[in-house]
Amino acid sequence: MKKKSITNKLAFATRAIHAGQEPDPHTGAVMTPITLSSTYAQSAPGKHKGYEYSRVSNPTRKALEDCLSSLEGGSYAFACASGVAASSLIFEFLNPGDLLVAEEDLYGGSLRILTKILKPRGIDIHLMDLSKTDNISKIPTKAKMVWLESPTNPLMKLIDIEQISSFTKKHKILLAVDNTFLSPFFQKPLQLGADIVLHSATKYLSGHSDIIAGVVITNCQKLAERLAFWSKSLGPVLSPFDSYLLLRSLKTLHIRMKAHEENALELARFLEKQKSVKKVLYPGLKSHPQHPLALKQMSGFGGMISFYLKGGQREVFKCLSQFHIFTLAESLGGVESLVEHPSSMTHASSPHPPHESLIRISTGIEDIEDLKKDILQALKNL
């Protein structure tokens, strides 16, 4: 059977559909089979076809990992059972006494790990506003790792990854970037100088709100060796079935991301015109203070929008209960539009929850006119 020649020179869409995937050598099956076997036959001790035990490596998960690392422009990927499992794998680089510097606006669950798990274990945590370029030179040089998201969740601030990576490289600090909000279709942190990228693959990579998964990607062999050791020893790995589903989802990532962005840009402009809306936070808007940085480091603006409503909790709760097409729910990145209230939902456990008038939208790929009508009626009579 002819082997596919999928190189990183091919375009994103081609790699999203083919990278890591060959027709099955035994049957010719075009789609990667779900290999459920936990163990693999050996012809002599240590002599096998590349697989020994599925916690260590599994053919379906391997195909997914190869596809994900190709899309991110990395060389090594580790598919995990959730986004937080992926984060935990990266935090294995930290030991008591080490300093972790993190952007202060982060997914609430990441802040929870930092403040409620790592800190009590003796890892120093220093939260900073890394979106302010003046602050980058103030990062303590003894830090072991810098952790950030860009755009941040939920304030949609941007961090100049290239600028921060030249600082971290100079001082031999690991730079880990959570790329969940944009996916590799719109931003490639490894190319901008990050050492490690992670995703909650539960979000855009999956795109259908039916998988919990995460991934860690790097192009540094030394880092990959340690991650592989922790992954096989601690076992936070993704199941073969979920690996298959995620591989299937990746085939439409480029199409979905374009549709999310098209709708989000129109909705963000539409929200800016509404009298009951105080301020819209979306990097694609000219009013976003870091719009020029968005144009520099991202190839698109993504589907996430946050906005401040005029008024307080009463108005916000009324608005949130009036949506018909947007579903009031945590999470993001699915084809369906979601709306949520960060201060009482995703970021309730954050040390500094966002203002109660902030609403976050994950723009789906439904018909834009239906989404606009839904917003209009949700903002009515506040």
Ligand X SMILES: Cc1ncc(COP(=O)(O)O)c(C=O)c1O
Alpha helices in 235-379 (DSSP H): 240-250, 253-272, 291-297, 313-320, 368-378
Does residue 132 carry a catalytic annotation? no
Contact flag: residue 303 with ligand X (CB under 6 A): no
The half-sphere exposure of 289 on its side-chain side, counting CA atoms within 13 A, is: 10
What is the strand order of the sheet 358-362 is part of? 277-281, 304-309, 358-362, 338-340, 327-328
Q: Which residues contact 121 (CB under 8 A, 6 or more apart)?
A: 96
Contact flag: residue 82 with ligand X (CB under 6 A): yes
Contact flag: residue 147 with ligand X (CB under 6 A): no
E-strand ranges in the chain read 76-80, 99-103, 124-128, 145-149, 174-178, 196-200, 214-218, 277-281, 304-309, 327-328, 338-340, 358-362
Asked whether the CA dihedral 233, 239, 240, 245 is positive or negative, the reply is negative
Candidates 38-46, 103-111, 246-254, 319-327; binding stretch for ligand X (CB under 6 A): 103-111
Candidates 64-72, 105-113, 138-146, 237-245; binding stretch for ligand X (CB under 6 A): 105-113
Residue type, 344: S
Residue 129 CA: distances (Å) to CA of 198, 206, 335 = 20, 30, 31
Binding mask 180-199 for ligand X (x = CB under 6 A): x-------------------
Sole binder of ligand X in the list 66, 72, 178, 242 (CB under 6 A) = 178
Does residue 15 carry a catalytic annotation? no
Nearest CA to 66 among 48, 56, 78? 78
Candidates 59-67, 80-88, 284-292, 368-376; binding stretch for ligand X (CB under 6 A): 80-88
Nearer to ligand X, 207 or 214 (CB): 214
Sole binder of ligand X in the list 70, 168, 202, 249 (CB under 6 A) = 202
Question: Least distance to ligand X from the beta carbon of 200, Å?
Answer: 3
Does residue 55 carry a catalytic annotation? yes
Contact flag: residue 59 with ligand X (CB under 6 A): no
Question: Least distance to ligand X from the beta carbon of 114, Å?
Answer: 12
Give how far the C-alpha of residue 206 lies from the chain's centroid of Cα atoms, to the nearest Å.
Answer: 11
Candidates 79-87, 111-119, 159-167, 245-253; binding stretch for ligand X (CB under 6 A): 79-87
Question: Least distance to ligand X from the beta carbon of 293, Å?
Answer: 19
Say how many C-beta atoms besides its own lie within 10 A of residue 138's C-beta: 12
Contact flag: residue 265 with ligand X (CB under 6 A): no
Q: Which residue is nearest to ligand X (CB)?
A: 83
Residues belonging to the active site? 55, 107, 178, 203
Give the interface with ligand X as residue ranges (CB under 6 A): 82-84, 107, 109-110, 149, 153, 178, 180, 200, 202, 212, 214, 331
